[in-house]
Each structure stands twice: as C-alpha cells, then as structure tokens.
Amino acid sequence: MKTQLTPAEALKTVLEAAPVLGAETVAARDGLGRVLAEPLVSTRCLPPAANSAMDGYAVRAADLVYASRANPVELEVRFEVAAGAVVEGEIKAGEAARIFTGAPIPPGADAVVRQEDTEDLGDRVRVGVEVGAGEHVRNAGEDVREGEEVLSPGTLLGPADLGMLASLGRSVVAVHQRPRVAILSSGDELVEPDGDLAGGRIVSSNSYSIAAQCRELGAEPLYLGIARDSPEDLGRYFRAGLHADVLVSTAGVSVGDRDYVRAVLQKLGCTWMFWGVRMKPGFPIAFGRFDADGPIVFGLPGNPVSAMMTFEQFARPALRKMMGHGAWFRPVVEVVLGQRLEKKAGRLHFVRVRLERRGDGIIAHVTGSQGSGVLRSMTRAQGFLIFPAEATELRAGESASVQVLDPAFFDSSEPGF
Amino acid sequence: MKTQLTPAEALKTVLEAAPVLGAETVAARDGLGRVLAEPLVSTRCLPPAANSAMDGYAVRAADLVYASRANPVELEVRFEVAAGAVVEGEIKAGEAARIFTGAPIPPGADAVVRQEDTEDLGDRVRVGVEVGAGEHVRNAGEDVREGEEVLSPGTLLGPADLGMLASLGRSVVAVHQRPRVAILSSGDELVEPDGDLAGGRIVSSNSYSIAAQCRELGAEPLYLGIARDSPEDLGRYFRAGLHADVLVSTAGVSVGDRDYVRAVLQKLGCTWMFWGVRMKPGFPIAFGRFDADGPIVFGLPGNPVSAMMTFEQFARPALRKMMGHGAWFRPVVEVVLGQRLEKKAGRLHFVRVRLERRGDGIIAHVTGSQGSGVLRSMTRAQGFLIFPAEATELRAGESASVQVLDPAFFDSSEPGF
C-alpha cells in the first residue's frame, strides 16, 4: 500500500479504480439530470406532417402571383382544416382552405396566407398579398428526420431533451445508473442527532453531510448507521454495505490503538491502494477496492471538515465518472487573495474561502478558523482555495485557484437584458 | 391590459406579482437545496465539552515545563478515558490519563501529549516534549457557542449546513415552500407521447419540457393534461389548477378564432396584466393574476421553443423569488460572436447558442435553425444570446451577453491542483 501520496496521485488512483456504471431504463420524465446511455435515434419525422404555422388560409402560391392590397385575388374556400383533423379534400387552382395553427396542409396547397392579410367573404376569401411557396408552412421533418441521431450517449438530459423524448413518443430512456453509496460512521462517542450528549458524546454529523454530498451530485446514499469501535461491530456494519457501489466510512483510519477500519475491511477482502495523502485537512484518508463486483472503498478521516473535504476531492469525481458525466470537477476560478496566508511546506492546503466579486475579479476571504473540527467554517465556504504543497506563504493580492462549491456563485442578480 | 411591453417591463410586472412563499417544516435531511426560512440559533456548544484532538495522554502542561527527549518527564497514568466515556477521576500534579481522539478532557488536565511523543512504561508514561496549555485540546464551544446564530434566513442549505443541523441535534428545519405549478396544454392536435399521430397530430411535448424546467429549479409540477380547443374543456382543466401557486398553460393565447385561453381565465377571475412582449421567440405571452390566494398565471405560446423561452425568461425568476432565493437569474457571461447575425429592429431576440471556451474568452455559435417550432435547436443550446431590440446586426467578433443554461458549462475538466 502506498502512502504520502500527493493529492494528484491519489486522485489518479481513485479515478482509475472507479468504473463507469452500466445502463438502466427509466421513465422518460424521470430522466432529468441523468446521463444518456444510448444514442437517441428518431423513429419519426418532426413535425410528422407539413402543418400550418398560422391561422389563415391554405393556398397555392401560384394563384397569388402579383396579388396586392390594390389588386386582391379571390379564392373559393372549399373546406376548413382544424388542428388534429384528418384532411377530407384537395385544393385545386383558384381554391383555398380555411386553416388553423398546427393543422395539416391539405393536398394541393403549398403555402399559408395569414388571416390578417385576408378578407372573409363567406364561401370566398379575398387575399391582398403574394406568398412564396412554403410560406407559413412547417415542413415534415423540418425539426428532426426519421433515423437521425438526435441525442448522443453522454448527454446530460435537460428540460429540452425531455421535451424531445416526448415529441419522439419515447416513454422510457436508457441512462447510466446512479451509484449507491453505503455510508457508515464509527466511534464510541457518536450519537444520532436526537441522542444524549452526556460523557462528551457528539452527534455523528458526518453521515448527514456526506449523504447530502451524495444527493447533491445525484448519487444514492444508504446510511448504515454508527458502528462502535470494535472489530466485531465494524465487520457487521461493513458487511451490510458490501453490495453497494461505493463504501464510505468516517473515522477509525488513523494510527491509534482503536483504528480498526483498515484491518477489518482487509479481512473482508478489501485491497488497500493507499493511505495518507499530503493534504490538509484530510491527511489520514485510505482508499481501497474489492475484487470483481465489490465496492470501491473510502476510509475517510473522522473530523467533520476532513471527512467532507476528502469526499469532495476524491469521492465526488469518482462518483461523477461512475454516473457517466463528462466533466468530473467543480468549476475552478482564479482569485486574488484578500489576506496573507502561511503554512509549512510539504502538504497542499485546501483553505475554506468566501468569494467576493469586485469589478472583473474575485477576492477570496478566509472563513475564520481552519481547524479540521470546525464545521462552521465549512458552512460559510463558497470554495476551497488551493495553497500548493511546497508554498509557505501567499501574500494578500497574490493570485490563486479556487474550486467553487456554491451552486449560486455564478447566478446573476440581473437578467442580462 | 398592457401590450407590446419590453422584456424588462414584462419581467418587472411578473416579479412584482410573485409572492415569496411562507415556511414549511421539513425533516432536516430533506432540507438540501431548500432556502432557510428561520434563523438557526444554536441551543448547545460545539463541541459540547473539551475533548482530545489526538490519541495520547491528558496532562497538566505545568508538569512538562523543560521536558525534552534528553530530559524526559515521567507521569503516573491514573486511568484511561475513551471516546464517549464518562470521566471517573481527576488529574493531579505528576499525573496523566491515557486518552483517545474525541474523548473528554478529564478535570485537572489542560493539554494532550501525542502518543508519538511518549513511551509507555505500564502504569507510568515517559514524556519527551513540552506542551502548551490547550495543546491538542478542542475546547467546548470552539466551533459554535450556545445562543449563536449559525445560519441566517435565506441561506441555501448545502451539505455542510445539513451536517451542522445534525450536530445541533435538529431533526426538522423551517424552509420556504416549493411552489406548485399546474401545467396545462391545449390544442385539438395534441396527443400524449404514446398517442396516435394520424391527422397530423403531434405530441404535447411542452408539458414535459415545462414540468422538467420546474423540477430543475426545485418547483413541483402538477401536470393537468391536454385540454381541447373549447371554452368548456379549458374551463374544466383550469379550475383543476386554481389551487396551485402558479398556473401555466401553453398555446391558445394568440389572436386566432380558437384562442380561448384568455377569455376563459378571465371568466374564472383572472386579471390579465399584459399580453405580447417585444421578444422573439415568445411574443404572444400573457400574464395575469387572481385576487387573494389565487395563482399567478402564465399563458405561454404553443410553439415548443417559445413556450420554454417564455417560461425561462419570466416564470423561472418568479419561481426562484417565490422559493426565497437571493439570486433569481441564470449566470450571464460576456461572449464573442462566432458568426454574423441580423434581424429587424423592434424585438429583442434570444438566440440559442453553443459556447466554446477559447483562451480566456468564450465564443458563441448559433445552434442551427432558430424557428420557434425547432425544439432541436433548444436541445443543443447551452445559452441564450441577447440580441438587443433596436440592434439589426451583430458582426462576427463582436461582444454580446449570454444567459447560461447548461449546468455543466462552468464545470472543470481538471481538479485545480
């Protein structure tokens, strides 16, 4: 097992081990936000038949050559075509049909005159404009031709895609599966949110923040509960999670006497790939895999900030890959530091920051205490500033990269018009 | 009723009419992505009691003054404190307690020595370092003090906030309600996706794309179905939607003989605020409101692109406001045009574009035919380029503003480290 990896080395190992999940077929309307796992080939034309884009009269363009307000042409109105109706007749020279938006163009007609450009004379209509062939007609296949690939595999399905699926008569669609993530906390001091805090007990908040991190990116969390610090209890809980795609535990992976997580999972068949990444917060993270169809395993540190940070840096990109996404990483923006930062060389620090737009630039402000137990600083963070491993100082006014977490950061307070 | 409004005037009217919805209390774990409707005040300290940040020994710092590897100090190990345990004894001068990460600091001790800096002598321990008072101790209230406002009303709840709620023992939380949006299509030519297309019938895709637009932003769509083009049928369907917060219909709001939507809703009590906005696609949009607790009403055009576009420009910001969000609009970015565009003066055009990052800039490419029936161009669009009302030409290489739709546009292909 490797140790003292750089974050980049650790990430590479994790991404290589994470498989892209197979397809499942879901109801088309449930496809929003999922990644398409098939080429979507149209089995029909859209629109299926030529139809009118306006309320007016279906005509033969040739009949209206040189027609104008001063020299109108009169046509005989043979019948009426409503939207959704089956056309009963045909238009011959000198004839027209009353037509409504969306109604099929009757045989013989090749254009539509808008109602505004006509005068209703009962069984005849007076037309005061010329029209070109095809005017105000939506042709069959204008939007989509039969046999055409409309959406490619890998497409993130959005509202317009769901409208397209409906238009094509598709009630189901093949998308990549969502990873199931079994989540486990361990520690004798942990209780659920409604638990008694006597004896310095604390709430197992990690399972809640990590389950939310899963949901936020579209994975399915399975919360297994709190295991006590004993090999037997840990083994029992871990076995309940082995059928998941990903197993995430928090705490118990350090070097203390009671850190049983690695030994217990190894006994269950986990091959550990690395332990200890040169980053802060989050050094004591372990990553492993089971053979064949078993899960990949993240043994995250127990401190609330370290647990969320290591999930964010390693589990999130892996889960995005598993779901079939193209881009696996958060937006990365260049910022200017609002204050001086210093640290020892050797580990990359992820500094929790708030982001302030100023002119064309972004200023990053540290969110108070950066202790790995201080969840407070995480609730305030809009991003993680990357303080490189070998750097010991970043001066106020210097540039740095920030991973942007806040989904509202890019939103605008103005519509743009 | 006003007509020929600019998009900005129409938007202002819509936003003024849209109320911020009241609060509902949900399970804390269901709060992800919701907007907090109460100040979250802590009823406890976090951590609740001073505890150890390391595995090692709880000591009195004064006992170790001048201790070093060359001149170690020996302390008597009086007892052991495990995480989650109730402390049985007290530490006096010359004494220490074995302690584990997360375990409460026993009375008398004021610091922790890391295991790595000690030698276990059975009932005694040899310590080769000095420690400062408070070292490796997480103090009570270090993260959060009792009575402190931890999260403000208006906070968009993310994973760290859900972890914080758990830490504070909160099982429920007050958030703004999600608007219920009743959606109705009308048209004799419309069928559901599994319907028969004889007679030029087409699938009512608008309800599916609009329902997805609602879900994407966190609102609750209620799909009422397809009303036929008759006042009676429209009346029946609309009545089924009057208890919703927002009523959205597509088609039937133009000036044709069969455009009954406005008359029918007016009869039901709707006051129309405007009809006809100087934009393309989407001119024939109507907006109205009911008195008191009735819904606000969007009568959207029937063309698939016009329906989605008017929803996006007017209904989405209104729904974001109703949900308590701070920023109501999509990200707006400056782009460079990849090709020349022209149009007549008078209406603002929203041009469907794909976005290509090139160096520090973004190039916008038009997504093929911009016909308002061409849903295809919408599936390909990553954003809407704003072609101002009075402009008649935008040259290749010129700058313009784009509203960004694609949630993956800002994502990165690299982690940033």
Read off the pLDDT of residues A233-288 as tens digits, 9 standing for 90 and up: 999 999 999 999 999 999 887 766 678 999 999 999 999 999 999 999 999 999 99
CB contact under 8 A, B83 and A193: no
| Token pair recorded at residue B352 | 């469907």
Closest-CA distance of chain B to residue A272, Å: 23
Q: What is the mean pLDDT of residues B49-61?
A: 91
Q: The complex's ipTM?
A: 0.92
Closest-CA distance of chain A to residue B324, Å: 13
Q: Smallest Cβ distance to B401: which of A87, A216, A416?
A: A416
Strands (DSSP E) along A296-405, which ranges?
A: 296-300, 332-337, 341-342, 348-358, 361-366, 383-387, 393-394, 399-404
Confidence of residue B291 (pLDDT cuts 50, 70, 90): confident
From chain A, pick out residues whose CB is under 8 angstroms from the CB of B15: none
A163 vs B209: CA distance, rounded Å: 4
Q: What percent of chain B stands above pLDDT 70?
A: 99
Predicted pLDDT of residue A293 = 81
Domains (ranges, CATH) in chain A?
2-21+177-322 (3.40.980.10), 23-46+142-176 (3.90.105.10), 51-138 (2.170.190.11), 332-404 (2.40.340.10)
CB contact under 8 A, A329 and B46: no
Give the contacts of A333 (CB within 8 A, at least 6 positions apart).
A355, A362, A383, A401, A402, A404
Predicted pLDDT of residue B189 = 87
Selected residue of A44, A155, A167 to mutate for chain B interface (largest B Cβ count, 10 A): A167
Closest-CA distance of chain A to residue B64, Å: 23
CB contact under 8 A, B104 and A371: no
Predicted pLDDT of residue B219 = 98
Half-sphere exposure of B227 toward its Cβ, with a 13 Å CA cutoff?
30
Residue of A nearest to B410 (CA): A331
Selected residue of A390, A412, A414 to mutate for chain B interface (largest B Cβ count, 10 A): A412
Average pLDDT over chain B reads 93
CB contact under 8 A, A208 and B33: no
pLDDT higher than threshold 90 for residue B280:
yes
DSSP string, B139-191: -TTSSB-TT-EEE-TT-B--HHHHHHHHHTT--EEEEEPPPEEEEEEE-TTEE
CB contact under 8 A, A189 and B413: no
Give the contacts of B308 (CB within 8 A, at least 6 positions apart).
A159, A160, A163, B206, B209, B210, B213, B378
Kindly report, residue by residue over B27-36, the tens digit of the pLDDT: 999 999 999 9
Kindly report, residue by residue over B299-311, the tens digit of the pLDDT: 999 889 999 999 9
* Beta partners for residue B5, in sequence order: B277
Q: Smallest Cβ distance to B169: which of A8, A194, A255?
A: A194
- The segments of chain A whose pLDDT lies below 50 read none
Predicted pLDDT of residue A129 = 95
Residue of A nearest to B211 (CA): A159
From chain B, pick out residues whose CB is under 8 angstroms from the CB of A316: none
CB contact under 8 A, A164 and B376: yes
Predicted pLDDT of residue B87 = 82
| Token pair recorded at residue A20 | 């892209």
Predicted pLDDT of residue A26 = 98
SS3 helix, strand, coil % of chain A, rounded to 5? Answer: 20, 35, 45
Confidence of residue B257 (pLDDT cuts 50, 70, 90): low
Predicted pLDDT of residue A48 = 85
Predicted pLDDT of residue B292 = 77
CB contact under 8 A, A167 and B325: no
Kindly report, residue by residue over B382-417, the tens digit of the pLDDT: 999 999 999 999 999 999 999 999 989 999 999 999
Predicted pLDDT of residue A142 = 86
Confidence of residue B55 (pLDDT cuts 50, 70, 90): confident
Average pLDDT over chain A reads 94
Kindly report, residue by residue over B82-125, the tens digit of the pLDDT: 877 778 789 999 999 999 888 899 999 999 999 999 999 999 99
Half-sphere exposure of A382 toward its Cβ, with a 13 Å CA cutoff?
20
Kindly report, residue by residue over B3-26, the tens digit of the pLDDT: 999 999 999 999 999 999 999 999
List the end-to-end C-alpha distance of chain B, in Å, as a whole number. Answer: 57
Question: What is the crossing angle of helices B261-268 and B231-241, to 10°?
Answer: 50
